[in-house]
Amino acid sequence: MRTAVCPGSFDPITLGHLDVIERSAALFDRVIVCVLVNGGKDTGMFPAERRLEFVRLATEHLPNVEAARWDGLLADFAQREGACALVKGVRCGSDFDWEYQMACINRGLLPGLETVLLPASAQYVYFSSTMAREMIKYGQDLTQYLPAPVAQILRKGKD
Ligand code: PNS
C-alpha cells in the first residue's frame, strides 16, 4: 500500500487544497492530510483542532483519505505513517522555489521520502488561505473559495 501525506497549515482549508487532496487520492492508496502546527505554536486564525475539523468535513467523501494533526517535524510524521511521498500544490514560481527547498530538506531528513508537486488547477491559482482569512475578517461569503461544509459553518457563525 502506497501512502502519501498532504501537509499544510490549512488555516483554513480552501478548494485549492481540496483539489490537490482529491488528485492525490487518485494517485495513492492512502492519503493522510496532516495539519501542522509550526514550531509547536498554535498561532493561526483557527486553532489546530478547528482546522482539523474543517479538513475532516471537507474530505468526508474521499474513502482513502484521513486527517491528522502533528506538532513536530513533517518527516517524522511521514516515517511514523510509512509514507513514501509528500504531495503539495504549486501555483506559481515562488511556490515552486519554496517547495523545492522543503523537498530537499525533507529528503535529507528522511532519505527516500519523495515530494510530488502538483500544478494548481487554473481556477484556484489566484486564491490562498491568506486571502480567505482576510475575507473572513471582513465578513465576506466564501462559498466559491472554500469547501461547502466549511463555508456554511463560517456563514452560520456570522449570523
Ligand atoms: O500551508 P503551508 O504554509 O504551505 O504549510 C507549510 C508546512 C506546514 C507544510 C511546513 O511549514 C512544514 O512542513 N512544517 C513542519 C515542520 C517541518 O517539518 N519543517 C521542515 C524542516 S525544517
Q: Tens digits of per-residue pLDDT, 42-91? A: 889 999 999 999 999 999 999 999 999 999 999 999 999 999 999 999 99
Inter-residue contact 33 to 68 (CB < 8 Å): yes
pLDDT of residue 40: 74
Mean pLDDT of the chain: 96
Give dist(CA 118, CA 91) in Å, integer: 9
Give dist(CA 14, CA 30) in Å, integer: 21
Inter-residue contact 37 to 10 (CB < 8 Å): no
Residues flanking ligand 1, CB < 6 Å: 7-9, 36, 38, 73-75, 105
Write out pLDDT tens, residues 115-143. Answer: 999 999 999 999 999 999 999 999 999 99
Inter-residue contact 5 to 83 (CB < 8 Å): yes
Amino acid residing at 7: P
Q: Cell match 501555483: residue?
A: 91
**Active-site residue identified among 41, 94, 137, 156:** 41
80 noted as active-site residue: no
Inter-residue contact 31 to 3 (CB < 8 Å): yes
**Active-site residue identified among 56, 69, 91, 155:** 91
> Would you give the DSSP letter of residue 146?
S
61 noted as active-site residue: no
Write out pLDDT tens, residues 4-51. Answer: 999 999 999 999 999 999 999 999 999 999 999 988 788 899 999 999
Cα–Cα distances (Å) from 81 to 32, 38, 72, 87, 137, in that order, read 9, 19, 14, 14, 36
Residue 43: exposure state from Cβ atoms within 10 A (0-12, 13-18, ≥19): exposed
